[in-house]
Structure formats: C-alpha cells, structure tokens
Amino acid sequence: MGGLRRSSLLIATAVLCVSGFVVTGRIIGFDRAVLLRSSQGVGADTFVDHPVYAIVEGAVVLVVVFLHAWRTRPTVAVLSIAALLVVFEHAAFYRPHTMLSRADSVQLMLILSAIMVAGGLLLRLRERSREALAAAAEERARRDERLDMARELHDVVAHHVTGMLVQAQAALVVAEQDKAKACAMIPGIVEGGTEALGAMSAMVRTLRDNGAATATTDLTADLHRLAERSGLPVRTTVELTEDVRPELGRSVLRLVQEALTNVRKHAFDATSVEVDVRLGASAVQLSVVDNGRTRPAHSGGFGLVGMRERVHELGGRFFAGPTGEGWLVTAELPLEVRA
C-alpha cells in the first residue's frame, strides 16, 4: 500500500511538472518558455491566466512537496522537489502577475516550499521516533517475557530436580549399609520425577496460552502441601483471612518454593525451617528462615535474582541474607497493583 501511494505521488509530480510547463508556454509562448527570444504568448486572456488558477496550482504543488518530504525516500524526495521548484519558480518568474512582482512571486514560492519541506521532515522524524519507541517497547516486552519464562523454568525445575537429587544422594549413602532401605527411596525419586514432568507440562500449557498463568485456587492449602513435600523440617504458619488476587497468590507460592529449594541446596545442616505468610492491611508479608550455617559463598545463584525481580515487578520489597544463625528471606507484596 505504501509503495502504491509513493508511485501515485511520483505520477502526480510528473503530471504537475508537465502541466506547469505547458501552462507557462501557453501563457508566454513555448519558445519563450524554453528561454528563446520570440513573440508574445498566446494565453493572456485564457482561464489559466486567472489568479484563482495560480493560487490553486501553487497550493497543489506545495502539498506534493510536503508529501515528498514526509513520505518518499530521501533521494527520490530531493529529485522530485527539485524538479517541482525548477518548473514552478520558472513559471513564477516568467508568467505575468497582477498581485505580486516577479521577484516577490519567486521568493514567496521558495519560502512556502521551505516551510512544506520542514513540515514534512518534522513528521518523518516524528514517525521514526514513534517506530523506534514502539520497537523498544516491543523488545522490552519480549525481554520481560523471557525473564518471566526463565524464572518459571528455574522455579519449577530447580524445586523438583533438587528434591530428586537430595533423595538420590541419600540413597547412595544408605546403600552402602542397607540396600533395602536405599531401594525404598526409589519410589520417592520416581514420584519427584513425575511431579517435575507434570509441572513442566503445566508451564508449557501456560506459555502456549500467551502467558496467562493459572494461579493457585487455595493458597493456604498449597503452601502447606509445598512444605510437606519439601523434605525439610518445616513449620508453616499461614494467616490469610481473605483471598488474594491470582497473580499475587501465584507469586507468593513461587517465592516460598524457591526459598525452600535454596535451603535444600545450600543449608546442608539446617534442622529447622520456618515459613510465615500473613495478610496485612495493604500487603502480603512472607518470610522463610532456616538455621543452616554451612551455606557456601555466592550460593544464591539465579534464584535470589529471580525472586527479587518477581517482587519488584509487583511493586513490593524484598530482602535475603544471613541472620547470624542461618538465612532469612522476606518479601512484602502489595495487595493492589501500583501504577
């Protein structure tokens, strides 16, 4: 469609140049129109010599100049505008005028053409700026989507696979002394793998549904179930007097899940883990604290980064760090979305 409009503009430019020269020749004589000495023109009493015609003709030329400066490619625009100016500055100088002198007509045409070119270039720059902003916004949206996918992948895979890894390592240790007991641990590993596959399938379905994530329908029950399946000595306190919005409940669940995963991965000697989730006046407050001391340096990895990003996207506050007797993760998530 854009190419068709540009072709139409080029055709209009050619027609204007030809008609402008023909009208000039009709008024002053074609031999004089090509700068040859000759007799008088033949159109002194014709319609094309009327001031109204000159005004309409000039307005059409200026509109085409404006459209070239706005729409066509720079090289084509320069050549087309130059051709129009040559033809109609020639006409402004050689045609007889009743309102303006020749010099005034030439200057007026130049000034108005410059204004049209400036206006067209301004609109061109404005459109390019809008396109650049739209492209940047699209790229930001894609980046945010990739980050959300990365966080979801990390949360789901790390949680389930870590549980399987811990059970497998324990089975290896136990197998040296009691093979029967080690074999008894295998169903737990299989169950963890099954849950991992189920979680991955659910995440893929969510992504296929344009990221419309399905949130928990019973946050309290899901938090207790998560603690029970973590394989850790967790004491869970959940005080939610009312339902929270779905995306907020899902984020709370993911934050607790990632915090427990970090405990299993890094707090090797933890004998106590406390999960506390409460509903305040304007925010959901959660904390996960353990008493593990053998946490290696830089143990947070991408988990803490993902948790911090998730909380900040919801307009909340996040902290994670040592307490002197273990490790603490806290977050405060506002009940309402902040503008």
- Please state, in angstroms and rounded to a whole number, the distance separating the CA atoms of residues 162 and 83: 74
**Each residue's pLDDT expressed in tens, for the chain with a length of 339 residues:** 556 677 888 999 999 999 888 888 888 877 777 776 655 545 444 555 667 788 888 899 999 999 999 989 999 999 999 999 999 998 888 887 767 788 888 899 999 999 999 999 999 999 888 888 877 877 776 676 667 666 666 666 666 677 777 778 777 887 878 878 878 877 877 777 777 776 666 666 555 554 444 456 688 888 998 888 888 899 999 998 777 777 788 889 889 988 998 888 888 788 999 999 999 888 999 999 999 876 654 455 557 877 888 888 888 999 998 888 889 999 999 987 654
Give backbone dihedrals phi and psi of 180, rounded to 5 degrees, phi first. -65, -40
CA distance 252 to 245: 11
Report pLDDT digits (tens) over 253-289.
Answer: 889 988 998 888 888 788 999 999 999 888 999 999 9
Boundaries of every domain in the chain: 2-99, 216-339
Q: Cβ(292)–Cβ(269) under 8 Å?
A: yes
In this structure, what DSSP letter does residue 49 have? G
Q: Residues 216-339: name the CATH superfamily.
A: Histidine kinase-like ATPase, C-terminal domain (3.30.565.10)
Helix/strand number for the chain, H first, E second:
10, 5
